[in-house]
Amino acid sequence: MTPIPVIVGQQPEPHLPEYQEMLKYESGRANELVAGLPGRHQEPWLNALDLWEPTAPLALEKALQNPAMASAVRGRVLDVAAGSCWATARLSLVESVQEVVALDLSERFLTSVGDRIINELSGDRSKIRFAVSSFNTMPFEDEYFDCAFFIATLHHCETPIRTLKEICRTVKMGGTLFLVEISVPPITIRDARERALQLSRESGFTEIAHTRSEMQYWLRHAGFDLVTFHTLETTVGSPLKRWVRNGLRRLDLEHVLLHTLYVMEANKRGTQI
């Protein structure tokens, strides 16, 4: 089997949190964290996906099955913080996509776990390239990609505006960033941030809680001048809870009172700040 090509960019400096994150995956310590997870898969990282980010694949499918969103998924596609590359594998199967670049911090993780997941999910290897780099200094020309994906990662990002600006730089004018994240309601954001701080200290992984308005502000500040929030259909919980959530959604109050999963469609059409 032909190895997937690897683009090597600039690694984060040793004093930055990104560097410590890279070491967890490069050293193999991250594999130890998922080795014993229960699940239906033989592949530990697919069990980790089911356990830690179960709605992320559903959100990606929403984007790909919605004609208005799917029309933007074409040409060259960037999967930022690709991790185990499950999304890279799925995106490579989209007919209008010519190339998918899976970008992350650890070359060892991409070429072992990522390569394995791509095979297991029947990704089109001929379309895929790996890129190893800091998220804030990506090794690509300005306006290289037609669209980008940033899935379930913003809440781990210590420099959200800087990272989003770097993504925006690499996306063509008229291109789109799809960002999948859960927003925290403003009425509980203080408690959510205390829990996130505690979890960060205990786990060593960065956890940051944010509201919908904050994410919109970061995206606009980064250079995306049109941000649309798409929600998933509510299929969990009791009928009463679903009725309440759907009612709040119709009134545009869901994000004010409840944690809400979004597919954010951020378009680059104006001039960057």
Per-residue model confidence as pLDDT tens for the chain (273 residues): 889 999 999 999 898 888 988 999 999 999 998 998 999 999 999 999 999 999 999 999 999 999 999 999 999 999 999 999 999 999 999 999 999 999 999 999 999 999 999 999 999 999 999 999 999 999 999 999 999 999 999 999 989 999 999 999 999 999 999 999 999 999 999 999 999 999 888 877 789 999 999 999 999 999 999 899 999 876 556 788 888 888 988 888 889 899 999 999 999 986 544
Query: Residue 137 falls within a domain, yes or no?
Result: yes
Query: Residue 272 falls within a domain, yes or no?
Result: no
pLDDT of residue 16: 85
Q: Within its chain, how far is the Cα of 88 from the centroid?
A: 11
Query: Residue 255 falls within a domain, yes or no?
Result: yes
Q: Which domain holds residue 62?
A: 6-267
pLDDT of residue 136: 95
Q: Within its chain, how far is the Cα of 146 from the centroid?
A: 17
Tokens of 216: 């919109």
pLDDT of residue 251: 86
Separation of alpha carbons 162 and 58, rounded Å: 28
Query: Residue 148 falls within a domain, yes or no?
Result: yes
Domain count for the chain, please give it: 1
75 dihedral zone (left: phi>0; alpha: psi -120 to 50; beta) = left
pLDDT of residue 202: 85
How many residues are there in the chain? Answer: 273
pLDDT of residue 143: 97
Query: Residue 127 falls within a domain, yes or no?
Result: yes
pLDDT of residue 245: 86
pLDDT of residue 273: 44
* CATH number of domain containing 104: 3.40.50.150
Residue 218, SS3? helix
Query: Residue 1 falls within a domain, yes or no?
Result: no
pLDDT of residue 236: 59
Separation of alpha carbons 182 and 21, rounded Å: 22
* Phi, psi (degrees; rounded to nearest 5) at 80: -80, 135
CA nearest 219: which of 264, 158, 170?
Answer: 264
Query: Residue 181 falls within a domain, yes or no?
Result: yes
Residue 223, SS3? coil
Tokens of 233: 């259909």
